[in-house]
């Protein structure tokens, strides 16, 4: 029997030729006024501002010399880093579970590669802004459905450019399912005889918000409460993947930085919050520059920063 990780596509650097399945992930129905490079289509009668999606990778122009040299010097250590097995998970509070180093090196590389390919296409990474004009301190791309920071609503198209969000890749969803199962089994151990679905329900993601934080990136304390009333009432969890640089993550019952608890999220960690923790206030006050695993940067081409994917069920 093959393990779920066997289903993961092979490790490739992110600027190489676009695999066919990437094309299938785009909901291409010619409804956008933009070509894949972000330019306006010739002949389009609708005039919209030029928009070029943000590239989270070095796009092949990166000078790998220094990283290669570093890795040659640290070769043994890097291999240990790559082979590090997933070892621990902890229940932070009812419904909130942290799985340390749950996503393998190859899976992280693949996630970066896929996010990069999707991110430079239709519906790709942009810097979102709130209605008052303030910009979020991150780049964002939505998969499945678009979340609009101007209205705090989900939709099938991105309002500012009319693009349709790419679909969530199947192997991302499978990893989400595996993470929830692991978190549920930890929950059972922690709370003994209970119906684990009452504490941490299962969910099938149809939304993924992908955020990329550069070294000054941050996200203020907030609740995730724009999904459907049913999803929120059931406490269907948010599942968050962290890749690249580490970051501080705050969480608590109030919008108060002083009273919030703090945990560090590192590359490969998965954080899940559902059940009675579904409305927890949370935020990212800071990213730690140059803290990403060197081997990840080398194999994926990820630019300095932190990639975060949050999966939800509408
Ligand atoms: C979010 O709350 O939407 C993102 C959290 C994170 O970046 O870890
Ligand atoms: Mn959030």
Domains of the chain are 12-73+83-312 (2.60.120.590)
| 246 close to ligand 1 (CB < 6 Angstrom) | no
State in Å: Cα 262 to ligand 1 middle.
13
Report pLDDT for 261. 98
- What whole-number distance in Å separates Cα of residue 232 and Cα of residue 211? 22
282 is in an annotated binding site: yes
- Taking only the tens of pLDDT, the chain with its 314 residues reads 433 333 344 333 434 455 554 555 655 443 343 444 333 333 344 445 568 999 999 865 443 333 333 333 344 444 444 545 566 899 999 999 999 999 999 999 999 999 999 999 999 999 999 999 999 999 999 999 999 999 999 999 999 899 999 999 999 999 999 999 999 999 999 988 679 999 999 999 999 999 999 999 999 999 999 999 999 999 999 999 999 999 999 999 999 999 999 999 999 999 999 999 999 999 999 999 999 999 999 999 999 999 999 999 99
Pocket test for ligand 1, best of 56, 147, 152, 211 (most atoms within 8 A of CB): 211
Report pLDDT for 63. 39
236 in Cβ contact with 197 (< 8 Å): no
State in Å: Cα 213 to ligand 1 middle.
10
Report pLDDT for 7. 38
| 211 close to ligand 1 (CB < 6 Angstrom) | yes
């Amino acid at each position: 029997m093959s393990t779920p990780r066997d289903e993961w596509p092979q490790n490739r650097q992110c600027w190489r030729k676009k695999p066919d399945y990437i094309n299938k992930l785009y909901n291409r129905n010619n409804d956008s006024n933009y070509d894949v490079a972000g330019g306006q289509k010739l002949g389009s009668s609708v005039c919209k501002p030029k928009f070029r999606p943000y590239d989270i990778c070095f796009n092949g122009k990166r000078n790998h010399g220094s990283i290669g040299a570093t890795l040659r010097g640290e070769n043994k250590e890097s291999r240990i880093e790559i082979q590090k097995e997933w070892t621990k998970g902890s229940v932070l509070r009812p419904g909130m579970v942290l799985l340390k180093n749950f996503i393998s090196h190859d899976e992280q590389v693949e996630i970066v590669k896929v996010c990069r390919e999707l991110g430079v296409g239709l519906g790709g990474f942009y810097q979102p802004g709130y209605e008052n004009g303030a910009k979020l301190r991150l780049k964002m791309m939505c998969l499945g459905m678009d979340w609009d920071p101007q209205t705090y609503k989900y939709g099938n198209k991105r309002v500012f450019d009319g693009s349709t969000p790419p679909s969530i890749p199947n192997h991302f969803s499978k990893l989400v399912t595996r993470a929830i199962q692991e978190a549920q089994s930890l929950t059972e151990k922690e709370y003994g005889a209970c119906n684990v679905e009452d504490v941490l329900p299962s969910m099938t993601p149809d939304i993924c918000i992908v955020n990329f934080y550069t070294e000054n990136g941050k996200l203020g304390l907030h609740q995730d409460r724009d999904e459907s009333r049913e999803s929120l009432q059931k406490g269907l969890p948010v599942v968050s993947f962290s890749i690249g640089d580490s970051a501080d993550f705050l969480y608590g019952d109030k919008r108060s930085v002083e009273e919030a608890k703090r945990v560090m999220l590192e590359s490969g960690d998965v954080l899940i919050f559902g059940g009675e923790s579904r409305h927890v206030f949370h935020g990212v006050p800071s990213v730690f520059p140059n803290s990403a695993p060197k081997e990840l940067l080398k194999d994926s081409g990820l630019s300095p920063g932190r990639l975060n994917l949050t999966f939800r069920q509408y």
